[in-house]
Structure 1
Amino acid sequence: MTTVPNPPQEHDQPNEFGFAGDPTGPEPAAHLTEGEGERIAVPSDDLTGAITGAIEDATDNDRD
């Protein structure tokens, strides 16, 4: 019994970047509501409020 090898398919060959097969694109980012991007990039609800309050208290006490 003889077998005939399947010729390589074009999509199985690596491209100029070394990748073979179908490309997988990145998922598009979900639409952010107004101001949500800033909330994610600069979270103000963690330590910022406490630190700001401590700095204000320290600077107010220095002036007295």
Structure 2
Amino acid sequence: MIDVATLSVIRRWALREQLSIREIARRTGLSRNTIRKYLRSGDQEPTYAKRASKSRLDPFAE
């Protein structure tokens, strides 16, 4: 999974600068399929799985 900053750079290069998917892949080091997947996803932000482990501060959260 890529971070939000990388996703915004990919979108900027594709939409504003009209770079090809191949060139974006070269610049980022990601595969062309990954670049294509994130460009097709639209305006969705990447989702992250919720943390499964408990924190040491949970008893003090209240």
TM-score category of the 2 structures, normalised to the smaller one: under 0.3
Report the structure, 1 or 2, having the larger helix content: 2
TM-score normalised to the size of structure 1?
0.23
Tell me: higher relative CO, structure 1 or 2? Use CA pairs within 8 A at least 6 residues apart. 2
TM-score normalised to the size of structure 2?
0.23
Is the radius of gyration larger for structure 1 or structure 2? 1
